Amino acid sequence: MPRLNQKRRVLITGCSSGFGLLTAVKAAQAGYDVVATMRNLDKAGYLTKALDQGGTTATIEKMDITNPDSIREIVEKHAPIDVLINNAGILIMGSFLDLTEAEVRRVLETNYFGAVELTRAVAPSMIERQSGIIINIASLAGCVGHPFNSAYAASKHALIGFSQSIRVELMPFNVKVVSMEPGYHKTEIIRANANLSENFYNRKSPFFEWNRGFLRLMMDRVIPKAGEPEAVADKIVKIMELDKPQLHYVLGRDARWATRFEWLGLGQWLACKVFEKLEIARHRENRRAEYKKKRRKQTPTTRTQES
């Protein structure tokens, strides 16, 4: 049973930026007892400032979701947990051939195995109390794939499958499981926190030009049109209040259109359209690179005469 006369406690991962940070602030403002976790407490200043500006407070803890001991320590310290939000994730861009095995494992360990391990640690007390909600922040990439982000897409696809599976298993215990699948939003995972694969600029790779083209496409077309992350955080907090939440939520205009195309059997058409835009971006980036190369070869005298 839910605890009486006490604030419901929510544990959120990945709170140094993006959805995690915003959700921590909005949940605290809504009256939840928020435990906001992150791997690196050196980045806690952003959350602290946002909490101060929002006129609210939260408990900030260091937790590495790839470390079972770290998970166990935080869960035992803050039990019982009423709401678990598995939000922490990383993205490493590059073709599937250019990603190293270590990079692929790093993405899967954080985005999938870490979420599974934390859920396994939190779920028993929810089962015992016959109450709780688990919200897994997946991605549109887990529904329709994502070129040059295969490890990320695979990890989110796995997280969606995990959510769908345990949702049924936990039904007898009144524990709800929700999968959230947002499209592109202006969070740090596609900006400052985005990582390029070790071999992203390897000229010997058959994907060298395509890697660069993809990055140019992201910078020119995708990121400027990305949604505002506050909308996702607002939705998460609303879901936490529902007695009967939906099984999953697709968030963002791009995500709704992409999933609609897939449902209509237009996945191949969508893939071709993405490829067309990628090819244009590749040619544009090649021209840009050639221009820079020509400029570097010019002598200072030549440059002065041109100006």
Cβ neighbours of 293 (radius 10 Å): 9
Catalytic residue (choose from 32, 112, 152, 249): 152
| Three-state secondary structure of 214-278 | HHHHHHHHHHHHCECHHHHHHHHHHHHCCCCCCCEEEECHHHHHHHHHHHCCCHHHHHHHHHHHH
- Cα–Cα distance for residue pair 36/133, rounded to 1 Å: 16
Mean pLDDT value across residues 132-158: 94
So what's the pLDDT on residue 301? 53
Does residue 299 have a pLDDT over 60?
no
So what's the pLDDT on residue 19? 94
Q: What percent of the chain has pLDDT over 90?
A: 67
Does residue 188 have a pLDDT over 90?
no
So what's the pLDDT on residue 216? 87
Contacts of 191 (CB under 8 A, 6+ apart): 223
- Cα–Cα distance for residue pair 193/18, rounded to 1 Å: 10
The model carries a pTM of 0.88
So what's the pLDDT on residue 192? 59
Helix or strand run (H / E) with residue 129: helix 114-129
| For the chain, domain boundaries | 9-207+226-262
Which residues are paired to 179 by β-bridges?
136, 248
Contacts of 70 (CB under 8 A, 6+ apart): 62, 63, 64
If you average pLDDT over every residue of the chain, what do you get?
Answer: 90
- Cα–Cα distance for residue pair 153/168, rounded to 1 Å: 24
So what's the pLDDT on residue 291? 74
Residue 302: pLDDT band with limits 50, 70, 90: low
- Cα–Cα distance for residue pair 133/179, rounded to 1 Å: 11
Lowest mean pLDDT among 69-78, 174-183, 278-287: 278-287
Q: Is 142 helix (H, G, I), strand (E, B) or coil?
A: helix
Does residue 190 have a pLDDT over 60?
no
- Cis peptide before 2, with omega less than 30 degrees from 0? no
Q: 46: buried, middle or exposed (CB in 10 Å: 19+, 13-18, 0-12)?
A: middle
Q: Is 46 one of the catalytic residues?
A: no
Contacts of 196 (CB under 8 A, 6+ apart): 92, 93, 94, 215
Q: Tell me which residue has tokens 């221009």.
A: 291
Does residue 281 have a pLDDT over 50?
yes
Mean pLDDT value across residues 150-168: 96
- Of residues 204 and 252, which shows the higher confidence score? 204
So what's the pLDDT on residue 128? 97
Query: Listing from the earlier edge strand, what are the strands of the sheet with 59-62?
Result: 59-62, 33-38, 9-12, 83-86, 132-137, 175-182, 248-251
Lowest mean pLDDT among 64-78, 164-178, 257-271: 257-271
Q: Can you name the CATH fold of 9-207+226-262?
A: Rossmann fold (3.40.50)
| pLDDT tens-place string over residues 100-142 | 999 999 999 999 999 999 999 999 999 999 999 999 999 998 8
Residue 168: pLDDT band with limits 50, 70, 90: very high
So what's the pLDDT on residue 104? 97
| pLDDT tens-place string over residues 24-82 | 999 999 999 999 999 999 999 999 999 999 999 999 999 999 999 999 999 999 999 99
Check if the beta carbon of residue 233 is closer than 8 Å to that of residue 252.
no
Cβ neighbours of 118 (radius 10 Å): 26
- Of residues 168 and 257, which shows the higher confidence score? 168
